[in-house]
């Protein structure tokens, strides 16, 4: 008989074999084999991470930092492969989010019902 772990492994296999994953992996490999593109994306991610960290620590973000982030964003947006990669990352993130929602539905139902009683 199946169990949640086996099904989860099957699902991971489906995800890995999905068009979404294949496209994402292709673009990921393409960016990683292009030194200029990789550096551009790394820079952008580092700026983003730095701002997120500051925000989480309640530190103020300066006007210069916002402008720098915007500049980096416009730069990566203009790079066809990177912008496609970021699009596909969002699509994958949506897919994983949808999947999580489906999986936790039984628990949501259990706790939702509990509240109403």
Stretch that binds a copy of itself, among 6-14, 46-54, 59-67, 68-76 (CB under 8 A): 6-14
The reply to whether 28 sits near a copy of itself by the rule CB under 8 A is: yes
4 binds, among Ca ion, a copy of itself, none (CB under 5 to 8 A by kind): a copy of itself
Please, what is the minimum distance in Å from the beta carbon of residue 76 to a copy of itself? 16
Q: Which conformational region is residue 7 in: left (phi greater than 0), alpha (psi within -120 to 50 degrees), or beta?
A: alpha
Question: How buried is residue 52: exposed, middle or buried, by Cβ count under 10 Å (0-12/13-18/19+)?
Answer: exposed
Q: Report the alpha-carbon distance of residue 34 to residue 81 in Å, rounded.
A: 10
Residue 57 tokens, joined: 């620590």
Please, what's the largest Cα pairwise distance for the chain? 59
- Binding residues for a copy of itself, rule: CB under 8 A, are 2-12, 14-16, 18, 21, 24-25, 28, 32, 38, 58, 92, 95-96, 98-100, 102-107, 110-111, 114, 117
Residues binding Ca ion (CB under 5 A): 87
């Amino acid at each position: 008989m199946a169990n949640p772990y086996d099904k989860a492994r099957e699902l991971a296999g489906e995800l890995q074999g999905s068009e979404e994953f294949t496209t994402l992996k292709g673009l990921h490999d393409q960016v990683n084999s292009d030194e200029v593109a990789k550096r551009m994306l790394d820079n952008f991610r580092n700026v983003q991470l730095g701002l997120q960290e500051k925000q989480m620590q309640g530190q103020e973000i300066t006007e210069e930092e916002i402008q720098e982030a915007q500049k980096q964003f416009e730069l990566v947006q203009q790079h066809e492969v990177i912008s496609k990669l970021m699009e596909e990352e969002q699509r994958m993130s949506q897919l994983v989010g949808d999947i999580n929602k489906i999986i936790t539905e039984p628990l949501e139902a259990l706790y939702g019902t509990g509240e109403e009683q």
